[in-house]
Amino acid sequence: MTVVAGVDSSTQSCKIVVCDADTGTVLRQRQIPHIDGTEVPPSVWWEALRQATDRMMRDVEAIAVAGQQHGLVVLDAAGHPVRDALLWNDTRSAEAAAQLVAELGGPQAWADAVGSVPLAAHTVAKLRWFADHEPELADRTARVLLPHDYLTWLLRGGDPETAPTTDRGDASGTGYWSPADGNYRTDLLSLAFRGRSPELPKVLGPAEVAGHTPGGRLVAAGTGDNAAAALGLAIEDSDVVVSLGTSGTVFTRAAVPSADPSGAVNGFADATGAFLPLVCTLNAARVLDSTATLLGTDMSGLEVLAAQSPAGADGLTLLPYLAGERTPNLPHATGSLHGLRPHTMRPHHLARAAIEGMLCNIAEAFDRLPTTPRRILLIGGAARSRMIAHAAATIFGMTVTVPSPGEYVALGAARQAAWALRGGPRPPRWPAPHATEFHSVATGIGAAIRQRYAEIRDLYYA
């Protein structure tokens, strides 16, 4: 049996799955937590990866890393981090993003150039913030990487003389690589970094080999977390994936690149050679966790409470912008609760409003995708709740398919590792995960909930 490994280095943790390369069967897995924060030392990811792989790699022939997108990792000429990494959810670069949009001539110019319009999350905006606020450190920067690029490079030995690599899926989230023509836009890099020209990683194709570990194990290209999830789920054109992690993402597979001048849809590439139009929100499961803490319970308790409230929470509505928001672009917004009356000021109504507010925000992101969905796949930690899955079907107004719980980002990385090891024009065909369907049965209720949510959002943020 040939064995491969896939790594998911996310905001919260490092997860590894070890799989049979022929069937995708998970043989063993492990998870190591990361520290919290919107800027962290890149070394903590490497230490977590070392712990996760300890005694897990004895028969592994190939490995790939999928990582959180957009994070800014800057290295000096000796390969040492110049500063802590700025993560995707760090919103200090919101003003820098607005500056860049204006300097290139507006949103359409950016959409045409790189498929996406810079927001605070994008690497290009973080580079501008870095250049303006820490110019001495910017001057020391020799290389600019993404989190998965950094870990892939360290797996290969981390020699300063060894050129780092990335892939088209993760490169497409930087704001200075074009999915449409497959090239870096070094003019945009220079614009963002105030004339500096650091080295960028080589962009590998989907099945290319990045190199080998010092012990001789193959290291595949790796990719961004959303592209890896799409690969792990084996999605097809017009499948729409809704991922409820700390943040929320909604994406689909497409044969052609997208260029949305509104900035809502990111025109990403995927890990197979196709494209991955994606909309991201900053607030998803964090809304549920925070509400559960407020109510003195956990996620299970939150679901029990929410089940005692009717759909619509008797008119209580939560705008879930607890960490600002990326879609809609409201980096400085806060969460707010509306419809408070004596009879709605109850824990069970708040629990229901938190779930529905999160889902309404995700549903608005869903509506922005340029596709008519064939099916909706609901994944992520919050998707394991039957109550949330039923609520999602109501809010979306269509059937929601929930694959069996699994580490699909890490699984997608493992599938990529098997592809790089075996070669061929397509990734290995692994069986689709078992899935459960949840149907929309409350006709009209979901639309009414969404209409009330939209009215309140427009009242404050029109």
pLDDT at residue 188 tops 80: yes
* Residues placed in the known binding site for substrate: 69-70
Q: Report domain extents, the chain.
A: 3-225
E strands, 255-360, in order: 266-269, 275-281, 317-319, 336-338
Active-site annotation holds for 225: yes
Q: Which residues neighbour 114 within 8 Å (Cβ) at sequence distance 6 or greater?
A: 172, 174, 175, 176, 177, 178, 179, 185, 188, 267
d(CA 123, CA 198): 14
Q: What are phi and psi of 176, to 5 degrees?
A: -135, 25
Where does the pLDDT of residue 5 fall: very low under 50, low under 70, confident under 90, or very high at 90 and above? Answer: very high
Q: Give CA–CA dist 148/410, Å, rounded.
A: 12
Three-state DSSP state, 341: coil
Q: What is the 3-state secondary structure (H, E, C) of 148-192?
A: HHHHHHHHCCCCCCCCCEEEHHHHCCCCCEECCCCEECHHHHHHH
Residue 443 is predicted with a pLDDT of 74
Tell me the C-alpha distance between 206 and 224, whole Å: 12
Residues 47, 32: Cα–Cα separation, whole Å = 9
Which residue ranges make up the annotated binding site? 69-70
Is beta strand 202-204 parallel, antiparallel or unpaired with respect to 13-20? Answer: unpaired
Catalytic residue among 8, 225, 270, 289: 225
Q: Tell me the per-residue pLDDT of 416-448, one tens digit each, with 9 for 90 and over.
A: 999 999 999 999 999 988 999 999 887 799 999
Contact between residue 153 and residue 161 where contact means Cβ atoms under 8 Å apart: no
Provide the pLDDT for residue 247. 87
What is the fold of 3-225? Nucleotidyltransferase; domain 5 (3.30.420)
Report CA dihedral (400, 406, 412, 415) to the nearest 10 degrees: -120
- Mean pLDDT over 2-31 rounds to 97
pLDDT for the residue numbered 462: 81
Q: What is the pLDDT at residue 426?
A: 94
The H-assigned helical ranges of 281-346 are: 285-294, 299-306
pTM given for the model: 0.92
In whole numbers, what is the pLDDT of the chain averaged over residues? 96
pLDDT digits (tens, 9 = 90+) for 371-417: 889 999 999 989 999 999 999 999 999 999 999 999 999 999 999 99
- CB distance 2 to 421 below 8 Å: yes
Exposure of 457 in the CB half-sphere (CA atoms within 13 A): 20
User: Tell me, what's the pLDDT at 246?
Assistant: 84
